[in-house]
Chains A and B, each alone.
Chain A
Amino acid sequence: MTARADAAEAAHREAAVQPGLEPEDAALVARLVPPVPSPYHRLNPLTKAAIATAGSLAAIVVGGYPVPLLVIVAALVSAEIAGLLGRLVRVTVAVGLALAISIVLVSTLTRAGETVLFVIGPFDVTAEGVDFAAQTLLKVFALSLSIGLFTLTTHPRALVADLERRGVSSRFAFVALATIEAVPAMVRRAGVIAEAQRARGLDSEGGVVARARGLLPLVGPVLISAVTEVEQRSLALEARAFSRPGRRDLLWAMPDRGAERALRWIVGGVLLAVVLGHLGGLV
């Protein structure tokens, strides 16, 4: 990272610290703000959410080729700016590949049309089917790239802090964040339980049937331990005044500049114009 980028990130972290802290504490809290290594990362979470939502909605509602392609190109350019192009493409392909294959197969092999391109066994592959598959694929990838870019550039804690600052209940914000953060812990716990069950003779290797059979003795302990954990965590939180009504102070929250607020209005306006234009037959 260049010295200039370092300085930009440091300035952003300082701007995220809420006012009123002692200088030493402000410096400490600035170091605790999740990393924001690129200009795209540094956008306010709500701005990134607005961009992702607008891109997804425009691609799905308008369809066709130009708008979804534009959304895909914009997402890829933004990912390049964020230094995440390769990762975003890999994640999108990994998540969307199975869906893409099924869309291509179903659309090309079963969709009726007048222009038969070629025949595979009992199926006519028509130009209309290929066209429909291509448009659907573009929509799917526009959607997954938009959401993927948002997810990869927005730390959950930054999103939740921003929502809380905007008046969302701290209880809701906490539950949302704890749920996201609990997933890796639950996966770890499931791994430990699986090891314990294997040590007692559980056969979870082999074919699909053997694996499915092996899952049954794991589900109960994983669910029970998850419920117990939630119960203990809620008691521990009660012991720390979590149920007190009213708002609480935040130590940091991502800055929300005037330019970004304007950008959100512009994004919303463009989305509205595109949708209205589409409904009016202009787009």
Chain B
Amino acid sequence: MTLELASVSYRYAGYARPALRDVSLRVDDGEIVGIVGANEAGKTTLCLVASGLAPASIGGRLLSGSVVADGQDLARIPVHGLAERVAIGFQDPATQLSGATGSVIEEVALGPLNLGMPGREALERAHEALDALNIGDLAERDPLRLSGGQGQLVVIAALLAMRPRHLVLDEPTAQLDPHGTRLVADALRRLAAVGTALLIAEHKTDLLDELCGRIAVLDGGALVGDGSAASVLEDPRLVDRGVAPPSRVTIRRAIEAAGAAP
């Protein structure tokens, strides 16, 4: 079971140039693949296309290629049917919470209820999702009064409750402090361990260094690198592409530049 983008080119409505150009990428079950790139490199667009929301929900046009999840072309699935296959989370938890529920458990159960499940089953899924992220104790809290890290975990739990096979996250820790980032990182590692395929766009290369087996590099909408996390993050050209290497690489280079032994 895989999520696969095959030679995908995508253009937003009203733009002459494509935001993604001939991107091919494959994420297998249990694999965590990171996406790095400068601002405007196309990371968010890649996430939207990989989840099927672009062009289905936000418009624009797939100029070529296809996005296939578990053998099914996402272009042939109605938008509400995508949720069970490829879930997508964004960077700001505040704008992803529905704002229409008074508790975390209701927020997490909202997706399964939207799918037409009876309340009993929706709550069962919500409990499972909260437990998977070790945040069962938040069940009765108001989702709008959580810390950033807790809020992002609730958002991820809400996505997990849809039981997607693939999870796409666009800068999930961008607004989180180190503690919140740690909470999310631990949760993602646990998800991968139970077979969820994860595609994560992030600026924090330290986090990707720790989490990902593979990292792809985007530049100007095109994939310019794809390899093991170690090889990609060690690549000296990364800085030229607007990506800061992880701390370990920066420190080692500084030591080498100073003439000391690493």
Residues of chain A whose beta carbon lies under 8 Å from any beta carbon of chain B: 18, 20-22, 25, 28-29, 31-32, 34, 157, 160, 170, 174, 177-178, 181-182, 185, 229, 232-233, 235-246, 248-251
Quote the shortest CB–CB distance from B158 to chain A (angstroms).
6
9 residue pairs of the A-B complex, CB under 8 angstroms, read A21-B119, A34-B102, A235-B58, A236-B90, A238-B82, A239-B82, A241-B162, A250-B119, A251-B109
Contact flags B93-126 to A (C-beta < 8 A → 1, else 0): 0111111111101100111011111111011100
Q: Give the CA-CA distance A185 to B140 in the complex, in Å.
A: 21
Contact check: which of B84, B88, B89, B114 meets A242 at CB < 8 Å? B114
> Are A241 and B114 in touch, CB under 8 angstroms?
yes
Contact check: which of A232, A240, A241, A251 meets B119 at CB < 8 Å? A251
B152 CB within 8 Å of chain A: no
Residues of B within 8 A of A182 (CB): 99
B8 CB within 8 Å of chain A: no
Q: Give the CA-CA distance A177 to B97 in the complex, in Å.
A: 13
> Are A242 and B116 in touch, CB under 8 angstroms?
no
Q: Give the CA-CA distance A242 to B115 in the complex, in Å.
A: 8
Residues of A within 8 A of B120 (CB): 20-22, 25
With contacts A21-B119, A249-B119 known, is A235 near B90, CB below 8 A? yes
With contacts A32-B140, A241-B114 known, is A181 near B119, CB below 8 A? no
Contact flags B113-145 to A (C-beta < 8 A → 1, else 0): 111111110111000000000000001100010
> Are B119 and A18 in touch, CB under 8 angstroms?
yes
Residues of B within 8 A of A181 (CB): 99-100, 144
Q: Give the CA-CA distance A64 to B6 in the complex, in Å.
A: 75
Residues of B within 8 A of A32 (CB): 102-103, 105-106, 140
Q: Give the CA-CA distance A101 to B58 in the complex, in Å.
A: 50
> Are B83 and A239 in touch, CB under 8 angstroms?
yes
Of all chain A residues, the one with the shortest Cβ separation from B57 is A238
Contact check: which of A22, A28, A233, A251 meets B140 at CB < 8 Å? A28
Number of A-B pairs, beta carbon distance below 8 Å: 125
Of all chain A residues, the one with the shortest Cβ separation from B126 is A25
> Are A157 and B159 in touch, CB under 8 angstroms?
no
Q: Give the CA-CA distance A236 to B114 in the complex, in Å.
A: 13
> Are A249 and B140 in touch, CB under 8 angstroms?
no
Closest 9 A/B residue pairs (Cβ): A244-B80, A240-B111, A236-B96, A232-B95, A241-B114, A241-B83, A241-B80, A177-B100, A249-B119
Quote the shortest CB–CB distance from B113 to chain A (angstroms).
5
Q: Give the CA-CA distance A70 to B135 in the complex, in Å.
A: 53
Given contacts A32-B102, A232-B95, could you give 8 more A-B pairs where the C-beta distance is less than 8 Å?
A25-B119, A25-B123, A185-B94, A236-B97, A239-B82, A241-B84, A241-B111, A248-B114
Quote the shortest CB–CB distance from B122 to chain A (angstroms).
7
Quote the shortest CB–CB distance from A73 to chain B (angstroms).
34
Residues of B within 8 A of A18 (CB): 119
Which of A20, A25, A28, A251 lies at the interface centre, i.e. has the most chain B CB atoms within 10 A of its CB?
A251
B92 CB within 8 Å of chain A: yes
With contacts A232-B90, A238-B57 known, is A243 near B80, CB below 8 A? yes
With contacts A239-B159, A240-B159 known, is A251 near B123, CB below 8 A? yes
> Are B57 and A240 in touch, CB under 8 angstroms?
no
> Are B100 and A246 in touch, CB under 8 angstroms?
no
Quote the shortest CB–CB distance from A111 to chain B (angstroms).
47
Quote the shortest CB–CB distance from A23 to chain B (angstroms).
11
Of all chain A residues, the one with the shortest Cβ separation from B123 is A25
Q: Give the CA-CA distance A189 to B97 in the complex, in Å.
A: 16
Contact check: which of A20, A232, A240 meets B110 at CB < 8 Å? A240
Residues of A within 8 A of B159 (CB): 239-240
Quote the shortest CB–CB distance from B82 to chain A (angstroms).
7
Residues of B within 8 A of A25 (CB): 119-120, 123
> Are A160 and B100 in touch, CB under 8 angstroms?
yes
Contact flags B146-161 to A (C-beta < 8 A → 1, else 0): 0000000001001100
Quote the shortest CB–CB distance from A245 to chain B (angstroms).
8
B33 CB within 8 Å of chain A: no
Residues of A within 8 A of B88 (CB): 235, 239
Q: Give the CA-CA distance A229 to B97 in the complex, in Å.
A: 11
Quote the shortest CB–CB distance from A63 to chain B (angstroms).
39
